[in-house]
């Protein structure tokens, strides 16, 4: 029996299984689909390599290979990284959030529905009552899991690299206070969570785009293209009135967690923005799948 015959048969069995076991089975199946693909391993490997390369570059830079470090704000931040390896976590998340993390999320999100339609399995997943809502929730759950997996891949790789290449100890905050290593690790974990949450609105956009086509590459390219367009708009001062509504407007608000006391306004605004994008584009994805034939 060919793989093409097995996939529809498995999808039919899942669709007619009891509701709760079926929902759990779909979630586990989606996790296997997302995290067993070679493409996923390649993207996570790339994300894990970025902190390593950044740490090696900073180590080489401060050892005398790249300059003398005089009089530049960026180099002052580099000095913070090299004086305390935990800062490599913050630096790596800041370096990957504008493009690399959104790119990987865009690839996975763009393939969520379009990949099923392209392989011919989508129609079998939709035969049960309320199958479309359930499928969207399952697909979004898989995207949420990937957002957290990708973000923590960067954070853990940066933590290991920072500990290997630089000294570790009490961490100076951005406003001059110092906190213990234990508290700093807790804040680093919270920052990673904030970064992962920052990607959820984009994941919802990608899920919606994925319902518009049966060509996964087109959905992936469109989602990644929206990230680029948003970044361009954010960099143009003439569009300042539009900036607060862009999904990436408060992505860098995680830096507030490196202050004492912690100003929560930016972080809360970011969570609200991602929730709004999730609701709007989740509803749009549901409308697209409920009103039109997406099984071709």
Note down pLDDT in tens along the chain; length 296 residues: 444 444 455 454 544 445 555 667 778 888 998 999 999 999 999 999 999 999 999 888 766 554 444 444 344 455 678 788 999 999 999 999 999 999 999 999 999 999 888 887 777 766 655 578 888 999 999 999 999 999 999 999 999 999 999 999 888 888 888 899 999 999 999 999 999 999 999 999 999 999 999 899 999 999 999 999 999 999 999 999 999 999 999 999 998 998 888 999 999 999 999 999 999 999 999 998 886 554 44
Backbone angles phi, psi at 137, to 5 degrees: -65, -40
Listed residue (209, 203, 225) closest to 285, CA to CA: 209
d(CA 129, CA 14): 13
SS3 of residue 184 by DSSP = helix
pTM of the model: 0.85
52 preceded by cis ω (within 30°)?
A: no
Listed residue (201, 210, 196, 199) closest to 286, CA to CA: 210
Which is it for the CA torsion 7, 138, 145, 104, positive or negative?
Answer: positive
Nearest-10 crossing angle of helices 19-35, 131-165 = 40
136 preceded by cis ω (within 30°)?
A: no
- Whether the CB-CB separation of 118 and 215 falls below 8 Å is answered with yes
């Amino acid at each position: 029996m060919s793989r093409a015959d097995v996939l529809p048969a498995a999808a039919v069995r899942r669709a007619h299984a009891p509701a709760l076991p079926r929902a759990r089975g779909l979630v586990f199946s989606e996790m296997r689909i997302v995290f067993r693909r070679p493409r996923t391993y390649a993207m996570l490997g790339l994300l894990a390599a970025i902190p390593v390369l950044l740490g090696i570059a900073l180590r080489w830079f401060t050892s005398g290979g790249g300059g003398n470090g005089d009089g530049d704000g960026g180099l002052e931040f580099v000095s913070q990284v090299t004086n305390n390896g935990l800062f490599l976590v913050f630096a790596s998340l800041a370096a990957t959030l504008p493009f690399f993390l959104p790119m990987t999320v865009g690839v996975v999100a763009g393939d969520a529905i379009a990949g099923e339609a392209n392989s011919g399995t989508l129609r079998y997943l939709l035969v049960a009552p309320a199958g479309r809502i359930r499928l969207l929730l399952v697909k979004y759950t898989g995207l949420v899991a990937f957002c957290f997996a990708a973000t923590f891949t960067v954070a853990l790789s940066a933590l290991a690299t920072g500990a290997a290449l630089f000294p570790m100890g009490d961490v100076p905050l951005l406003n001059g206070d110092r906190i213990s290593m234990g508290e700093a690790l807790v804040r680093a974990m919270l920052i990673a969570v904030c970064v992962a949450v920052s990607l959820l609105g984009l994941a919802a956009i990608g899920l919606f785009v994925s319902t518009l086509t049966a060509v996964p590459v087109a959905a992936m390219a469109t989602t990644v293209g929206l990230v680029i367009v948003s970044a361009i708009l954010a960099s143009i001062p003439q569009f300042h009135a539009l900036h607060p509504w862009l999904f990436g407007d408060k992505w860098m608000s995680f830096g507030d967690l490196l202050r004492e006391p912690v100003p929560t306004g930016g972080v809360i605004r970011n969570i609200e923005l991602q929730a709004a994008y999730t609701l709007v584009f989740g509803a749009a994805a549901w409308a697209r799948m409920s009103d039109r034939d997406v099984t071709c």
